[in-house]
Amino acid sequence: MIGPSFPAVLAAATNGDEQAFGVLWRDLQPALLRYLNAFAPGAGEDLASETWLRVVKALDSFSGDERAFRAWVFTVARHRAVDRWRRTTRHHDELVPLDALTNLPAPDDPAGTAVDAISSQAAVAQIAALPPDQAEVVLLRVVAGLDVAEVAAITGKRPGNVRVLAHRALRRLAQQLSEEPRVRGPVRGR
């Protein structure tokens, strides 16, 4: 999160200040990549680029605080992901469903071979292995840092439904991890 300087940063970026846009980009790009890679493995960077292009073009039409900006960016990202999913299905490309991620190999010895990024990727992959609606709710809550109302607005669900999905996802994760711990390694707080 950028914090109190966000309005000034946003205003500068809207006026074409590259450094200000870089601040916005650095703040949101990692979360965008993790979110998009969970839904379109291997295409996260392309989708993130498309997302930023849309964001830049419509930057002057945005009004709101930092949380609203995050929610807006992730809404754009979600639309990009859905559009891509539709394109790939229309062109009969091989689509990788979220369920296929359940068999992703996790690092056996993260302490020796993994770095922090891999640990983050493995964690996101573990979350993405949940049922799609649960995975999306958890990713938007945890990775994007959005609250229940914002996630409900993005996903088109009611807030109560979002809470239920999140609880089920946490319980499912707990069950999976208690049976087979997959993600270890260094954990860094926010």
Partner 1 sequence: MGSGGVFSAEMPDEPSQAIVPLDADTAERLLSARLDPDDAPPGYAEVARLLQAAAAPADQIELTGQAAALNAFRTTHPGPTSPPARPATTRPHPTPPPGPPAGTRGRPAGSTGRPGGSRDQRVAARGGASGARGRVVALALAGALAAGAVGVWTAGGAPFSRELGSPSGGPSAGGPGSATPGSGPYGVGRYGLGGTGSGADATGSLRPAWPSVSSAPGATQVTNGRPPAPASTREPATARHTGDVTSPGGSTNGSKHTHPGKQPKPKPPKVKPPRSTSPKPKPAKDSPVLKIGR
State the nearest-atom distance from the C-beta of 107 to partner 1, in Å: 12
CB of 143 to partner 1, least distance (A): 6
**Cα–Cα distances in Å, from 32 out to 72, 90, 96, 156?**
12, 25, 19, 19
**Rounded (10°) CA dihedral 179, 180, 185, 190:** -50
CA dihedral 67, 72, 73, 78 (to 10 degrees): 130
Q: Interface with partner 1 includes 36 (CB under 8 A)? A: no
1, 60, 132, 160: residue in contact with partner 1 (rule CB under 8 A): 60
If we measure between CA atoms, which residue out of 37, 24, 44, 6 comes closest to residue 123? 37
86 vs 167, beta carbon nearer partner 1: 167
Closer of 81 and 123 to partner 1 (Cβ): 123
Residues that bind partner 1 (CB under 8 A): 6-8, 10-12, 14-18, 21-22, 25-26, 29-30, 33-34, 45, 48-49, 52-53, 56-57, 59-65, 115-117, 119-120, 122-124, 126-127, 138-139, 141-143, 145, 163, 166-167, 170-171, 173-175, 177-179, 181, 183-185, 187-190
